[in-house]
Every structure is written in C-alpha cells, then in structure tokens.
Amino acid sequence: MIIDDNPNDSAGEANKIQREMLTFQFVFHLFLMKAILGLTNDVSQALQKKNQEIVNAMALVKSCKEKLHWMRNNEFDALVEEVSSFCDKHHIDVSNMDEAFVLPGRSRRNAPIKTNRHHYCVELFIYVIDEQLTELDDRFNELLRLAQFYPQDFSDGDLLALDDQLELYIHYVNSSSDFSDLQGIGDLAKKMVETRMHRAFNYVYLLITLALVLPVATASVERAFSVMNIIKGPLRNKMGDQWLSDSLLVYVEKDVFDCIENEAIMLCFQNMKPRRGQL
C-alpha cells in the first residue's frame, strides 16, 4: 500500500516502482516472458527429471524450438494487440509503434533514431526468443558434448558419424511402436538390444551405455571421498602411502572383497614370506 503523505524513503521507492509498473514497456516485458516461459516450462520440467528418457527429451526440445521459431516469425503483432488491450483496460498509455522510441525520463532531442516497433520487436521480442533458442540448442547437443569426454571411445570421425546417426535414430524411434512406453534410459538400452538396433545405431548405443555408467561412477567417487574424511587424521599420520591406499581399497570396494573367501586371503598372506605363526 502506498501512503501519499508518508515522507519516508519506502513510500518514495514504492511510488517509483508503481510508476514503472504502469508503463507500456513493463506490461510488454511481462506478457513476453509469460508467453515464452509458458512454451518452455514443460520441456524445462522434463529435462530436470532424473528418469527422463533421452529420445523423449530430445523430441520435447525439438518441438519447443519449432514453437519458438513460429512465435518469432508470426506472433509479434498479436502480442502487441494483447498488451495494448490490457493497457487500455487499466488506463495505461499505449505506445504507437510508428513513433520514435524514447526511454522514460530521457529527452527526445538526444534519443537514438529508432521506432517503437524496432525497439520492441528487434531489441526485445526477437532478442529474447533467440536467447531461448540458443539455450535449447545447447540442451539438444548435450549428447554430442558428452561423447567428447570419451576420446578413447569416440574419435573425431566417430563424433561426425554420431551427429548424423542421432538424427536418424530419433526419427526411427519416433516412428516405431517398439520404443513406446519406456520408463528410462535403462529400458531404452535393453530395447535396443532386443530389437538388435544396438548394431545399426552402434554409436548411439555406446553413448547410452556410457551415460548409464555415469551415476554409478559418480557414486563410487563420492563414497571414496567420504572414506577419506573418516581415515584422514591421526590415523593417516601413522601409516605409509601404500598402506593407506590398500586400506582405502578394501574399505571402498566392500562388495568386491565380500566375494573373496577368508581361506584365500590367509593363504596369500602366508605365501608372501616365511612367518613363525600360522593363521
């Protein structure tokens, strides 16, 4: 609430904010972001899901890009009409698109020569949409960037082949009923083997298997660092590096060492060198 006779700074700041909100430019920004965020919200939520299936995610990105391209080329005039209607309803001055654009509080004499249409269409509408398209392009190419982190598995030639193979693979999966209702990337890998598509799309399949390994590898590294916090300290100062390494290996890889019989460990220990006592 704004109290006109209140002389404090808060009231002055509130009045300034209110004046900014009651301008055509503010309303245009508001409606523009509402339209763009409405288009990108679904794909944004889908890409954040841990169990999001790769093909569906890429299809959502492609669909969102197509909608944004259509909006970029066809929706500016409709947006201006919607904003103008809102401003008329709430007694806000409407900018004439053919007049020169001047920032609020600035003199027309020194203002750059450009129309309101150029400012709102080129500098705001098209610019914001292009930024969103760039962000989606980055998302769409995540698989190719992931492959670059495995130079031993993907050569430069393989990366070029993967780019083409991904496009063909997406088209094939979208047109095949065998790949519908999959619950995750693990199901996708199994279905590729069942349909023998892992041979036809060998680079895609290799990339999927590497992506499946990532969560396991990450968890293993996190466990190793947790163990370091336990062992590092007074105990660490009393042992050599090799002993520390051996102790960490046994502690971290518990599942592996659980499969080794105690008798085998004792026999190996006894055979290392002659000992007086026997285990």
End-to-end Cα, the chain, rounded Å: 83
Task: Tell me the HSE value of 97 on the side-chain side, using a 13 A CA sphere.
Answer: 13
> Cα(39)–Cα(79) distance, rounded to whole angstroms?
14
Q: 115 pairs with which residues across the strands?
A: 100
Mean pLDDT for back-to-back runs of 10 residues, the chain (279 residues): 57 77 89 88 67 59 84 92 92 88 64 82 92 76 54 60 72 72 69 75 72 52 58 59 72 74 81 72
User: Model's pTM, two decimal places?
Assistant: 0.48
> Cα(163)–Cα(166) distance, rounded to whole angstroms?
5
To which residue do tokens 């599942």 refer? Answer: 255
> Cα(122)–Cα(156) distance, rounded to whole angstroms?
38
Domain parsing of the chain, residue ranges: 9-140, 142-231, 232-279
pLDDT of residue 84: 93
pLDDT of residue 85: 93
Distances (CA, A) of 144 to 140, 155, 162, 167, 204: 9, 12, 8, 12, 10
